[in-house]
Structure formats: C-alpha cells, structure tokens
Structure 1
C-alpha cells in the first residue's frame, strides 16, 4: 500500500514581506509560522513523514520545536522553490517508493487544517490522480499588455487560484520537476511541472482561510484564522 509523505519548502527569504527574518520565522500568536505549519501536518494521521527543506546556512530553524519530532527530517534547499522541492523529493526517495504519494505544502501557509489535508489525500488516492487545492476566482480578471493596457476580460468561471497542498506520485513529480529544471523552465508550482509533463491534474476546492502569508497585512488575518481553528478543535 502506498504511503503519503509531505515536503515543506522553507528555504526562501520572503523578500515581499520586507522583514528582518524570513517570513516562515515570523510569529503568529507567539509561535513561528513554520511551527504552525508543521503542527498541522504532524496532526494528520495519513502522513507518514515530513521533509522540511531549509537554507543550509539557516540556524533559526534550530528553535522550531516540531523539527525534533521523529517523523520530521530536513534537507538542504536550492536557489529557487522548485530546486528546493526537488531536493526534498530526492531526500524522501531514500526511504519512500516512487509509487508513494507526496504532498507539497508551503511553509508560509500555516492555516491548513487536518480536515483539508485528509480531503486532498482521500481524493488523490481514491481517484489515483494528483490534485491541487485551489479557489475559484470571484473577481473579474483582466489580461493586460506590456504597456498596462487591458487586452481582454477573462472568463472567471474557468480561472482558479492555486494553493497548496498539492499532491502527486513521488516518482512522477520528481521526473517532471527534473525535466523542467534541466530545460531552464521557471516552475512556480508543482502542478505546472506535472501539466507540462502531460500528467492529469485535478482541482479540489479549498477554503479561503488557507492563506499564504506573503505581505505584512496577511499576518493579522492569519492570526485570526488560527485562533478560530484552535477554538474549533477544542469543541
């Protein structure tokens, strides 16, 4: 029976946050973002192990309690997110089978719930197709030219905003990422690599609360969501 593993790319600098430390170490309700994310993944009984990909020079991770959990391992990250994800996959493959599933989740999405993780895992395993958590667009979308002029209005019914987690077979995702990077293709998420390699990718609608902390304003919103999730878990 296939196992499910998680890979968490956490080697980025978070330039858009304009903070003194990488955003995964900023605190929400007194706890680092990365710690919140790892706690959620470790709380999911479907996940066999978690691989966290870090900057090799990163010493801040030493203070993250969940990194000492026996189910958590670490690997050295690369220059870009795709490089780090591939490094994480290669590290997982030392213990996992190519037919195992791997769930990739952003370190800066701390509001993921166990229910969301379980729904994605169940959908992928039952249908044997990789999938992406995403949200349907509620805004009118415009495609613009280089000189900032509107070229066309897109049909928002066909537009979805990708989130993480994204889940695929370990061997297939490793091959897809390796091929894209070898051809200098800028890969922004795992689904893009899989689409480009010709694999089917499903969409699973995720909640608006599964936010990525990217800008300073996101911190306050994430704190509110986490407090609500904690309250619900106590009921």
Structure 2
C-alpha cells in the first residue's frame, strides 16, 4: 500500500537504513513472496529473508534463527513492524543511545491515551467500569 509515493515497507526500511548505528537491515518475508522485489527492490544494506511464519512471533523467531549465524553474542537486534512506517531516525537513534549500556534491551512506548474499559465475562460483553490509565504505556516498535 503506497504512502506518499512509497510502499509502507519501503518507508520503514528507509527509516531503519538511515539510522547511522545499524549495521544491517533484514526483512523477514513469507516464503515465495513475489511482491517485495517489485514494490521495494534492492536497497543498500538490506537483505530479504524468505523465512516468515504463520504468525508475527513465528516470523520473528525464524528471522532471528536466520541471522543468528551472523550475529555476535553482544549484538543488538531490533524487531520492527513494517506496518508502522512513521518511525523517524531521531527517535530510533535516541532509543539506541538510551540502550547503549542496558543489559536486557528495551522498546519504544507512548503513554496510553485511549479509554480503557473492563468488560464482564461471558456472552454479554458489556463494559463494567473505566480503568485508570495511570502508569500504563502502549508498546511500539522497534523493540
């Protein structure tokens, strides 16, 4: 799907590829994908991996397995959903800088602004109460 003249995937790739601290960008695709070459093409520093799974989690696992042979134990891996094409280089580099000495990793997040409801269990699915948003955040990618 195009956005301002580029596919969502290409916009995400460009943002990741423009981050000066990244050594490589891997794109996990479904085995047999035919649209990537047409809609994205060859991009400097980007390698397509045709090992995607049935779910996001399976695709992440397969991608990590595929790049695991090339990664060092101290390397960081960012997992980013291509359907979130509005990540900017400044935010990405700030995340990487903040995590420079972090031993376990991190993620981008924004404070929860949506109204949060608790529903009754069962078939009725009626809202019982409004929950407090205090201290709640929405995780974003990359993670």
TM-score greater than 0.5 by the shorter chain: yes
Pairwise CA distance, 1:164: 0.5
Post-superposition CA distance 1:200-225 (Å, at most 9, x none): xxxxxxxxxxxxxxxxxxxxxxxxxx
Pairwise CA distance, 1:145: 2.0
Post-superposition CA distance 1:134-192 (Å, at most 9, x none): 111123311112322234432201221111111xxxxxxxxxxxxxxxxxxxxxxxxxx
Equivalent in the alignment of 1:165: 142
Pairwise CA distance, 1:57: 2.2
Separation (CA, whole Å) in 2 of partners of 1:141 and 1:122: 32
Secondary structure at 2:19's aligned position in 1? Answer: coil
Secondary structure at 1:40's aligned position in 2? Answer: helix
Equivalent in the alignment of 1:69: 43
Equivalent in the alignment of 1:29: 4
TM-score (normalised: structure 2): 0.89
- Choose which of 128, 144, 148 in structure 1 pairs with 2:103: 128
1:111 aligns with 2:86: yes
**Ranges in structure 1 where 5+ consecutive residues have no aligned partner:** 1-25, 167-235
Aligned length: 140
Separation (CA, whole Å) in 1 of partners of 2:19 and 2:28: 19
More helix by share: 1
TM-score (normalised: structure 1): 0.56
1:156 aligns with 2:127: no
Runs (4+) of structure 1 exceeding 4 A deviation are none
**Ranges in structure 2 where 5+ consecutive residues have no aligned partner:** none
Separation (CA, whole Å) in 1 of partners of 2:39 and 2:14: 11
Change (3 A) 1:151 1:98: farther
Pairwise CA distance, 1:70: 4.4
Pairwise CA distance, 1:100: 1.0
Separation (CA, whole Å) in 2 of partners of 1:121 and 1:151: 41
Pairwise CA distance, 1:33: 0.8
Secondary structure at 1:153's aligned position in 2? Answer: strand
Equivalent in the alignment of 2:64: 89
Secondary structure at 1:127's aligned position in 2? Answer: coil
More strand by share: 1
RMSD value, Cα: 1.6
Counterparts of 1:1-235 in structure 2, within 5 Å, are 26-65=1-40, 67-75=41-49, 76-146=51-121, 147-166=124-143
